[in-house]
Amino acid sequence: MTSGPLPSYLLPDTAEVLDADVEVGGVSLLELARTFGTPLFVYDEVALIERCQAAAKSFDDGVAFASKSFLCGAMARLAVENGLCIDVATEGELDVVLRAGVSPERIVVHGNNKSVTEITRAIDLRVHRLIIDSFDEIVKIQQILKPGETLSCLIRVTPGIEAHTHEFVRTGQEDSKFGFSIASGDARRAIDLLRAVPGVTLHGVHAHIGSQIFDTVGFDEELQVLANFTKDDSFDELCIGGGLGVAYVEGEKAPSISEWGAMVRQSVQRLGIDQKTRITAEPGRAIVAQAGITLYEVGVVKELTMRTYVAVNGGMSDNPRPVLYGSGYEAFDLSRPGLARDREVRIVGKHCESGDVLVDQAWLPSATTVGDIIATPVTGAYGYSMASNYNRVPRPAVVFVKDGKSRLVLRRETLEDLVNLEVE
Sign of the torsion angle spanned by Cα atoms 361, 362, 368, 369: negative
63/151 with CB nearer ligand LLP: 63
Segment lying near ligand LLP (by CB under 6 A), choices 48-56, 141-149, 276-284, 304-312: 276-284
Smallest gap from residue 285 Cβ to ligand LLP (A): 4
Smallest CA-to-CA distance from 382 within 312, 283, 241, 306 is with 283
Give yes or no for residue 180 binding ligand LLP (CB under 6 A): no
Residue 90 to residue 69: CA distance in whole angstroms: 13
Smallest gap from residue 71 Cβ to ligand LLP (A): 12
- Measured in Å, how far apart are the chain's first and last C-alpha atoms? 56
Q: Which residues contact 172 (CB under 8 A, 6 or more apart)?
A: 158, 159, 160, 161, 162, 163, 207, 208, 209, 210, 218, 222
Segment lying near ligand LLP (by CB under 6 A), choices 139-147, 206-214, 217-225, 364-372: 206-214
Residue 161 to residue 83: CA distance in whole angstroms: 30
Residue 336 to residue 329: CA distance in whole angstroms: 18
Give yes or no for residue 169 binding ligand LLP (CB under 6 A): yes
Give yes or no for residue 170 binding ligand LLP (CB under 6 A): no
- Helices assigned H by DSSP within 351-423: 415-419
Give yes or no for residue 286 binding ligand LLP (CB under 6 A): yes
Give yes or no for residue 208 binding ligand LLP (CB under 6 A): yes
Smallest gap from residue 184 Cβ to ligand LLP (A): 20
Kindly give the pairing relationship between strand 343-348 and strand 357-364: antiparallel
Among 39, 172, 204, 241, binds ligand LLP (CB under 6 A): 241
Give yes or no for residue 255 binding ligand LLP (CB under 6 A): no
Among 121, 128, 285, 350, binds ligand LLP (CB under 6 A): 285
Segment lying near ligand LLP (by CB under 6 A), choices 13-21, 114-122, 204-212, 340-348: 204-212
Instruction: Respond yes or no: is residue 85 known to be catalytic.
Output: no
- Judge contact between 233 and 185, C-beta under 8 A: no
Smallest gap from residue 151 Cβ to ligand LLP (A): 18
Sign of the torsion angle spanned by Cα atoms 71, 74, 75, 77: positive
- Contact residues toward ligand LLP (CB under 6 A) are 66, 68-69, 87, 110, 169, 208, 211-212, 241-244, 282-286, 321, 325, 382
